Amino acid sequence: MTTLTELHIGDSLHSIELAPVTRLDLIKYAGASGDFNPIHTIDEEAKNAGLPGIIAHGMWTMGNLAKLFSNLYEIGFIEEYRIRFKGMVFLNDVITLQADLKEKNGNRYFFNVAATNQSGKEAISGEVIFKTY
């Protein structure tokens, strides 16, 4: 576990590469979140919506990205988590999660966060403000 106080501006939390996205991942997220929009699980519905295939829920990717901070629960919490949904995530995409420290101010740590696909294209990006106790 990275010690937050040892991080310098420009340093990153340990990044994570997810396993290729499967249909079952998205079915599980649909069930757990209650978001049953069929473009996330059913090919035909995705095609009817003009998509080449089913796409991940934006909130699935946003949920995944937050895990970079889960280990830090004893020293603080995510005070603000701001995301822009930029690109679609398709089946078999390999998503990398990243958080870079851009600023420290008192007990607040400002991170740039992003989830990018195997081509280096951002699916989501934004900011996390982590507040320590």
Between 6 and 133, CB nearer to another protein: 133
CA distance 34 to 85: 19
Residues within window 31-50 making contact with another protein, judged by CB under 8 A = 31-39, 45, 49
| Helix, strand or coil, per DSSP, at residue 26 | helix
Between 101 and 130, CB nearer to another protein: 130
Q: Does 63 bind another protein (CB under 8 A)?
A: yes
CB of 131 to another protein, least distance (A): 9
DSSP state letter for 107: T
Q: Does 60 bind another protein (CB under 8 A)?
A: yes
Residue count (the chain): 133
Candidates 2-10, 27-35, 104-112, 114-122: pick the segment binding another protein (CB under 8 A). Answer: 27-35
**CA–CA distance from 125 to each of 1, 58, 111 (Å)?**
23, 11, 11
